[in-house]
Amino acid sequence: MKKINRRRFIETSVLATGGLVLAPSLVEMLDPNSVSAHANPPDPKSLSAYDARVRALLAQMTLEEKIGQMTQAEQDALKDVNDIQKFFLGSLLSGGSSDPKAGNSLAAWTDMYDGYQTHALKTRLAIPILYGADAVHGHNNVLGAVVFPHNIGLGCTRNPKLVESAGRITAEEVRATGINWTFAPCVTVPRDERWGRTYEGFGEAPELARSLGEAAVRGLQRNDLSNPLSVLACAKHFIGDGGTKIGTASFRNPQGKRLLDQGDTQVSEAELRAIHLQGYISTVRAGVGSIMPSYSSWNGVKVSGIKKLLTDMLKQELGFEGFLISDYKAVDQITRDYKEAIGISINAGMDMVMVPTEYERFFNLLRELVNEGKVPMARIDDAVTRILRVKLAMGLMDKNRSPLADRSLHKTFGSPEHRVVARECVRQSLVLLKNEKQTLPLSKKLAHIHVGGKSADNIGNQCGGWTIDWQGKTGEVTTGGTTILKAIQSAVSAATKVTFSQDGSGAAGAQAGIVVIGELPYAEGMGDRDDLTVSQEDLTAIDNLKQAGIPVVAVLLSGRPLIINEALSRCDAFVAAWLPGTEGQGVADVLFGDYKPTGKLSFSWPRSMAQIPINVGDQNYDPLFKYGFGLTFG
């Protein structure tokens, strides 16, 4: 760490920790000027370095054992746990909402993982499983985990070191449950805010996917897959998932409309490369061990079946040595006949298939395809080589190391130390859009602050989708963490009265109002929407606060820019807080000036629905706020 900045930094970090004393390594992680942990990150060892060991193992394997390695089943679809041995399953996953049967707790997740791994170790060759989960903003499926801001917010921090730190902490919490693989980072470049997965991306500009995607991989994998605190990362969804054309979605959204998700990306190869390939160039360089091909199509053909993309571009041109894992039932979408679809995908270069439910059928069909000569044995060997390389690189087969969970990590799971880093992410992700008459920062000594809005005391709305449940949940979705209301209450002086009403009424007599508004949780195509206008309920809450004749600060919780014109003009200050996660204190840090806003928009902010799609670099670019916009105060 550079000495000159240490003192200033420690002062800020103490603010953020509320007096908590941090381990020096954590302090260093948080320091925006720290160089030691990050400068010239060593290029991770190449995966093909393990090929001699892989060849020895491969030579002993039957076709069935090889196909098993290529099969990933959803744990809650296992008909019998002995199927792990019977089908030599190489991997299991917990998809969204796939909790342990014993319930959702740290202990139950760990026991579940250990139980399945123990079965894998009973197979003839005792090859451990990779267990995958969507730890996309912290270990978000597990109650009590620290939940980080979704990527859209991290994109506004423009801070690769911080994103790397978030990745390290996420990996440590994932490892606490034994799980060794996360389907993250998402390096999508969302080009249309109507897409329900906009928040999964770091921003609309490829440079963000490139720099922050790389940082996330370096954090999750710690630049060394063999480190017991690292997890296997997965860059997704290759390629063009964020570029689909409106009206081409594979499914209808809850309003019955076919919008964007899993649709068709109708662009030239040059555009595909310039916009959608960038996050893969950098994550492959950082040694990402797995990549997930997208549900979406490229010019009418499902990506999961395109050899030119999976094999030629990714493996040959970029030199990706890890393995490809298909998306959930994505192979099924390639063509109507499932067997034919499997053949197309494996021959295109898919290495492992997220089946996820009918694993026996998949196993049998792939075996038939090989026996009929429709999938060459060389392709199977290549796929299994790639999977085994990763398992070996992770030390999963080291004699002196157990692949079971290290329960000593339970100590730091969801710990205050981890929450400090998430809080830092929150405060750096906030973007100040308006600040009339220096409304912000608010004084902590005001006699009375009235708080309103449906999301002020709602940790579920703060966290958004992919939190405990696949779709997330409004209300008390998880344990631990701080709502924005609670954060305000703990930030102000003892003499300050903080009152709250969801609809913002009853503010008379207060000196200032804070209203927390925005979207309710959603994930994937369920969030595809063609009207992103701030709701009437939210406007009413603002109006009720304004009726008291006080300055009103709006905090918007959303997975994308919304159409905010009405809300913006009625408020004195306006903060875009995205989906900040469990650490609401990071929002209060900005509202009360403990942190001067530094966040810069990761998206262009549209004036109207008619302006969408709008992206930096467009002709006649005239958004409400430009990409990169963000105010601060003195």
Question: What is the Cα gyration radius of the chain?
Answer: 24
Residues 524-543 contacting ligand BGC, CB under 6 A: 524
Burial class (CB in 10 A: 0-12, 13-18, 19+), 126: exposed
181 binds ligand BGC (CB under 6 A): no
Q: Is residue 414 involved in binding ligand BGC (CB under 6 A)?
A: no
- Least distance in Å: CB of 98 to ligand BGC? 6
Catalytic one of 327, 332, 424, 594: 327
Contacting residue, 33, 46, 97, 608, with ligand BGC by CB under 6 A: 97
Count of beta carbons in the 10 Å neighbourhood of residue 536: 9
Site for ligand BGC in 303-362 (CB under 6 A): 327-328
Between 69 and 326, name the residue whose CB sits nearer to ligand BGC.
326
Q: Which residue is nearest to ligand BGC (CB)?
A: 95
What's the rounded Cα separation, in Å, for the pair 533 and 490?
32
Q: Which is nearer to ligand BGC, 444 or 529 (CB)?
A: 529
Closest CA to 173 of 219, 235, 223, 127: 219
| 149 in contact with ligand BGC (CB under 6 A) | no
299 makes contact with ligand BGC (CB under 6 A): no
Task: State the Cα–Cα distance between residues 62 and 378, nearest whole angstrom.
Answer: 14
| Residue 263: both structure tokens together | 């649709």
Looking at 28, 31, 99, 134, which residue binds ligand BGC (CB under 6 A)?
Answer: 134
Contacts of residue 362, Cβ cutoff 8 Å, sequence gap at least 6: 71, 342, 353, 355
- Among 44, 90, 95, 460, the residue binding ligand BGC under the rule CB under 6 A is 95
Beta-carbon contacts of 631 under 8 Å, excluding residues fewer than 6 positions away, are 432, 433, 434, 435, 597
| Closer residue to ligand BGC, CB minimum distance, 62 or 97 | 97
Supply the minimum distance, in Å, between the C-beta of residue 183 and ligand BGC. 4
Which amino acid does the sequence have at 333?
A: Q
95 vs 452, beta carbon nearer ligand BGC: 95
Is there binding between residue 522 and ligand BGC (CB under 6 A)?
no
Q: Which one of 93-101, 109-117, 264-272, 615-623 is the stretch in contact with ligand BGC (CB under 6 A)?
A: 93-101
- In sequence order, the 6+-apart residues with CB closer than 8 A to the CB of 394 are 180, 225, 226, 230, 232, 289
Nearer to ligand BGC, 133 or 573 (CB): 133
Residue 185 or 453: the one with the smaller Cβ distance to ligand BGC is 185
Q: How many CB atoms lie within 10 A of CB 103?
A: 10
Part in contact with ligand BGC (CB under 6 A); list of ranges 22-30, 96-104, 110-118, 449-457: 96-104
Binder among 90, 96, 586, 599 for ligand BGC (CB under 6 A): 96
Say how far apart CA 55 and CA 372 lie, in whole Å: 24
Beta-bridge partners for 617: none
Which residue in 551, 455, 541, 457 sits closest to 506, CA to CA?
541
Considering beta carbons, is residue 74 or 172 the nearer one to ligand BGC? 74
- Binders of ligand BGC in range 220-249 (CB under 6 A): 236
Q: Is residue 183 within the footprint of ligand BGC (CB under 6 A)?
A: yes
Query: Is 524 a catalytic site residue?
Result: yes
Smallest distance, Å, CB 470 to ligand BGC? 4
Name the residue among 559, 568, 473 with its Cα closest to residue 515.
Answer: 568
Q: In the chain, count of helices (H) and strands (E)?
A: 21, 17
Packing angle of the helix pair 377-393, 51-58 (nearest 10 deg): 130
Q: Is 109 in the site for ligand BGC (CB under 6 A)?
A: no
Catalytic residue list contains 327: yes
Judged by CB under 6 A, does residue 298 bind ligand BGC?
no
Residues involved in catalysis: 327, 524
Residue ranges binding ligand BGC (CB under 6 A) = 95-98, 134, 183, 236, 327-328, 470, 524
